[in-house]
Amino acid sequence: MPIGSLMTEFTLAVAATIIAATLAGVYFTSLNQVADLQKIQVLGLKEQLYYRCDIIYAHSSDEASTIKLWVKNTGFKDLSRELIKKSEIMILSRNKVYYLLYGDSADSWNYKLLNDSDDDSRWDPSETIEVEAHLSESLTSGDYYLKFILFNGAESEYNLSV
Protein backbone atom coordinates (compact mmCIF):
# COMPACT_ATOMS: atom_id res chain seq x y z
CA MET A 1 0.00 0.00 0.00
CA PRO A 2 1.49 3.33 -0.99
CA ILE A 3 2.22 5.96 1.65
CA GLY A 4 0.00 8.54 -0.11
CA SER A 5 -3.00 6.25 0.26
CA LEU A 6 -2.30 5.73 3.99
CA MET A 7 -1.97 9.48 4.54
CA THR A 8 -5.27 10.11 2.75
CA GLU A 9 -7.06 7.49 4.86
CA PHE A 10 -5.48 8.85 8.05
CA THR A 11 -6.52 12.41 7.16
CA LEU A 12 -10.08 11.28 6.39
CA ALA A 13 -10.25 9.36 9.68
CA VAL A 14 -9.09 12.40 11.66
CA ALA A 15 -11.56 14.65 9.80
CA ALA A 16 -14.42 12.19 10.46
CA THR A 17 -13.52 12.07 14.17
CA ILE A 18 -13.45 15.88 14.40
CA ILE A 19 -16.80 16.16 12.63
CA ALA A 20 -18.35 13.50 14.88
CA ALA A 21 -17.02 15.23 18.02
CA THR A 22 -18.35 18.60 16.82
CA LEU A 23 -21.79 17.15 16.07
CA ALA A 24 -21.88 15.43 19.47
CA GLY A 25 -20.96 18.72 21.19
CA VAL A 26 -23.70 20.60 19.35
CA TYR A 27 -26.21 17.86 20.20
CA PHE A 28 -25.38 17.87 23.92
CA THR A 29 -25.42 21.68 24.05
CA SER A 30 -28.90 21.70 22.49
CA LEU A 31 -30.01 18.99 24.87
CA ASN A 32 -28.85 21.08 27.85
CA GLN A 33 -30.74 24.12 26.53
CA VAL A 34 -33.93 22.06 26.23
CA ALA A 35 -33.45 20.75 29.78
CA ASP A 36 -32.97 24.33 31.07
CA LEU A 37 -36.18 25.44 29.33
CA GLN A 38 -38.07 22.55 30.89
CA LYS A 39 -36.78 23.51 34.34
CA ILE A 40 -38.00 27.08 33.83
CA GLN A 41 -41.42 25.81 32.73
CA VAL A 42 -41.67 23.52 35.75
CA LEU A 43 -40.82 26.42 38.08
CA GLY A 44 -43.54 28.53 36.45
CA LEU A 45 -46.09 25.75 36.84
CA LYS A 46 -45.00 25.24 40.43
CA GLU A 47 -45.69 28.91 41.17
CA GLN A 48 -49.07 28.69 39.42
CA LEU A 49 -49.99 25.77 41.69
CA TYR A 50 -48.64 27.38 44.84
CA TYR A 51 -50.67 30.56 44.39
CA ARG A 52 -54.29 30.12 43.28
CA CYS A 53 -57.64 31.63 44.22
CA ASP A 54 -61.36 31.31 43.51
CA ILE A 55 -64.07 33.94 43.62
CA ILE A 56 -66.71 32.13 45.65
CA TYR A 57 -69.34 34.88 45.54
CA ALA A 58 -69.85 38.44 44.33
CA HIS A 59 -72.61 40.94 45.01
CA SER A 60 -73.70 44.40 43.99
CA SER A 61 -76.96 46.19 43.31
CA ASP A 62 -78.35 48.51 40.67
CA GLU A 63 -77.07 52.09 40.98
CA ALA A 64 -74.30 51.03 43.42
CA SER A 65 -70.71 52.04 42.75
CA THR A 66 -69.16 49.12 44.64
CA ILE A 67 -68.94 45.39 44.06
CA LYS A 68 -68.08 42.98 46.85
CA LEU A 69 -66.22 39.76 46.07
CA TRP A 70 -65.39 36.93 48.41
CA VAL A 71 -62.19 35.24 47.26
CA LYS A 72 -60.75 32.02 48.72
CA ASN A 73 -57.06 31.07 48.64
CA THR A 74 -57.12 27.64 46.96
CA GLY A 75 -53.35 27.40 46.51
CA PHE A 76 -50.75 25.70 48.67
CA LYS A 77 -48.96 28.79 50.00
CA ASP A 78 -49.93 31.86 51.96
CA LEU A 79 -49.77 35.34 50.49
CA SER A 80 -48.36 38.35 52.29
CA ARG A 81 -50.11 41.72 52.28
CA GLU A 82 -47.62 42.96 49.68
CA LEU A 83 -48.44 40.11 47.28
CA ILE A 84 -52.19 40.52 47.78
CA LYS A 85 -51.90 44.23 46.95
CA LYS A 86 -50.23 43.35 43.63
CA SER A 87 -53.43 41.63 42.50
CA GLU A 88 -55.69 43.21 39.89
CA ILE A 89 -59.41 43.19 39.18
CA MET A 90 -61.03 43.44 35.77
CA ILE A 91 -64.73 44.14 35.41
CA LEU A 92 -66.29 43.92 31.97
CA SER A 93 -69.80 44.89 30.96
CA ARG A 94 -71.40 45.24 27.59
CA ASN A 95 -70.05 48.77 27.07
CA LYS A 96 -67.40 49.39 29.75
CA VAL A 97 -64.17 47.85 31.02
CA TYR A 98 -62.78 48.62 34.46
CA TYR A 99 -59.20 47.80 35.38
CA LEU A 100 -58.67 48.17 39.12
CA LEU A 101 -55.49 48.21 41.19
CA TYR A 102 -55.25 48.17 44.97
CA GLY A 103 -55.87 51.56 46.60
CA ASP A 104 -58.39 53.83 48.29
CA SER A 105 -59.54 56.00 45.40
CA ALA A 106 -62.24 55.54 42.76
CA ASP A 107 -61.56 52.70 40.33
CA SER A 108 -59.53 50.80 42.90
CA TRP A 109 -60.07 47.99 45.38
CA ASN A 110 -59.24 47.09 48.96
CA TYR A 111 -59.75 44.01 51.07
CA LYS A 112 -60.06 42.60 54.55
CA LEU A 113 -59.08 39.15 55.73
CA LEU A 114 -62.21 37.44 57.03
CA ASN A 115 -61.06 34.27 58.75
CA ASP A 116 -57.40 34.64 59.68
CA SER A 117 -57.29 31.36 61.60
CA ASP A 118 -53.71 31.78 62.85
CA ASP A 119 -53.73 35.60 63.30
CA ASP A 120 -50.63 36.14 61.17
CA SER A 121 -52.25 38.72 58.82
CA ARG A 122 -51.36 36.53 55.84
CA TRP A 123 -53.85 35.02 53.38
CA ASP A 124 -53.32 31.35 54.13
CA PRO A 125 -54.70 28.43 52.09
CA SER A 126 -58.46 27.97 52.63
CA GLU A 127 -58.85 31.47 54.11
CA THR A 128 -61.18 34.02 52.50
CA ILE A 129 -60.79 37.72 51.83
CA GLU A 130 -63.61 40.17 51.25
CA VAL A 131 -62.70 42.46 48.37
CA GLU A 132 -64.51 45.73 47.81
CA ALA A 133 -64.16 47.16 44.31
CA HIS A 134 -64.84 50.92 44.14
CA LEU A 135 -65.96 52.27 40.78
CA SER A 136 -66.03 55.86 39.59
CA GLU A 137 -69.61 55.49 38.35
CA SER A 138 -72.71 53.58 39.36
CA LEU A 139 -73.52 50.21 37.92
CA THR A 140 -76.52 49.80 35.67
CA SER A 141 -78.67 46.72 35.33
CA GLY A 142 -77.00 44.01 33.33
CA ASP A 143 -74.41 41.28 33.33
CA TYR A 144 -70.82 41.81 34.47
CA TYR A 145 -67.81 39.57 34.07
CA LEU A 146 -65.38 39.77 37.01
CA LYS A 147 -61.80 38.58 37.04
CA PHE A 148 -59.49 38.58 40.08
CA ILE A 149 -55.85 38.20 39.00
CA LEU A 150 -53.08 37.35 41.44
CA PHE A 151 -49.54 38.75 41.16
CA ASN A 152 -48.37 35.65 39.26
CA GLY A 153 -51.18 35.67 36.68
CA ALA A 154 -53.34 33.02 38.34
CA GLU A 155 -56.92 34.17 37.99
CA SER A 156 -60.49 33.46 38.95
CA GLU A 157 -63.59 34.47 37.02
CA TYR A 158 -67.16 35.16 38.06
CA ASN A 159 -70.32 36.25 36.23
CA LEU A 160 -72.46 38.75 38.10
CA SER A 161 -75.94 39.99 37.22
CA VAL A 162 -77.03 43.31 38.67
Contact 79, 71 (CB under 8 A): no
How much is the pLDDT for 16?
83
Domain boundaries defined on the chain: 1-50, 53-161
- What is the per-residue pLDDT for 87? 97
State the Cα–Cα distance between residues 18 and 1, nearest whole angstrom.
Answer: 25
pLDDT score of 1: 56
Q: Quickly name the fold that domain 53-161 has.
A: Immunoglobulin-like (2.60.40)
State the pLDDT at residue 15: 82
- 149, 56 Cβ separation under 8 angstroms: no
Listed residue (125, 16, 142) closest to 78, CA to CA: 125
Task: Provide block-wise average pLDDT over 10 residues at a time, the chain (162 residues).
Answer: 71 83 80 78 74 95 93 94 96 93 93 89 94 93 96 94 92
